[in-house]
Amino acid sequence: MAFQSSSLSCSSSVDLRRPSAKASDIFGSQLRSLEIEPTHLRLLDSFKRSPKALRLTAVMGSPAQETKDNKPKVEEVSDHFKELRHRFLGFKKDKYLSNLEHYQRLSEVQTPKFMVIACADSRVCPSSILGFQPGEAFVIRNVANLVPPHDNGPTETNAALEFAVNSLEVENLLVVGHSCCGGIRALMSLDDEENTSSFIRSWVFVGKPAKLKTKASASNLDLDQQCRHCEKESINRSLFNLLTYPWIEERVKNGTLSIHGGYYDFIDCTFEKWTLDYKGNSLAPDDGCSINNREFWS
């Protein structure tokens, strides 16, 4: 099974069937085997003067150089947080303090109109793409922006849905997929017969119906094109899965809740939006999505 890293291009992938990396591979160096090597211990002169000043020096190769080379690059990590500190203070000055009354109200209550289910991909931040401000959207992000059906049991995604719908009473559920999704590529590359304990495989398996429909309708296309097809198909499948939750279906029936799909193509920066058309009867996913209000923003 192949899973695309979010920091790689669309066609890049890593093979999840390979055994887990050894610690020596992860840290980029060969770890010494646990065999006893000749170690010379020398007592410092200070020990002769006072037992309290005992200091033992283990001489193995070039200890000073080895310790220096293996030190974490603390300066580089610190630089990253200096940048975050600069951004935070900028936010406080330019946004928080200039809208203090608004943020004080948010400290007491939140009343978002949207619940957004988006991918965890670092390139796909709903607040940046769609301009959500604090208090406007309740957001859950997971690999491949999947919504499991109600019968699959509890996950952090449906826990967030329950809170957003039943407690916050949001008016819109929006599932946002995107181009070059590593989770969808992992799904499309799955060997259904493979038995593995991979967390990724177990999670993206939720999208198997979307994969099967893609294979049936786009089998003549190459993998990249199939993945793009499945990226949108999996969004529609998630929209239908939302209706398997009784408290969601009830609100959709009485018109207090709407379900929407969105697709962000970050290659050319376009966005597609559509709404699930629910007319009072449960829809069958295999009959195809009934949608309206489709829009294309470019």
For residues 186 and 203, give the distance between their C-alpha atoms in angstroms, rounded to a whole number: 10
For residues 261 and 244, give the distance between their C-alpha atoms in angstroms, rounded to a whole number: 16
Give the distance from CA 298 to its chain's centroid: 25
Structure tokens at 102: 């608004």
Task: Specify the amino acid at residue 22.
Answer: K
Q: Tell me the backbone φ, ψ of residue 116, rounded to 5 degrees.
A: -115, 130
Angle at 194 between CA 225 and CA 140, to 5 degrees: 60
For residues 198 and 226, give the distance between their C-alpha atoms in angstroms, rounded to a whole number: 23
The DSSP symbol for 33 reads P
Q: Is 277 annotated as a binding residue?
A: no
Structure tokens at 103: 């943020």
For residues 251 and 298, give the distance between their C-alpha atoms in angstroms, rounded to a whole number: 32
Strands 14-15 and 2-3: antiparallel
Q: Residues 6 or more apart from 221 whose CB is under 8 A from it?
A: 229
Q: How many CA atoms within 13 Å lie on the side-chain side of 218?
A: 19
* E strand map for 99-236: 114-119, 137-142, 172-178
Q: Is 10 annotated as a binding residue?
A: no
Q: Is 40 annotated as a binding residue?
A: no
Q: Under DSSP, is residue 199 helix (H, G, I), strand (E, B) or coil?
A: helix
Q: Residues 6 or more apart from 63 whose CB is under 8 A from it?
A: 57
Q: Is 230 annotated as a binding residue?
A: no
Q: Which residues are annotated as a binding site?
A: 119, 121, 178, 181
Q: Which residues are annotated as a binding site for Zn(2+)?
A: 119, 121, 178, 181
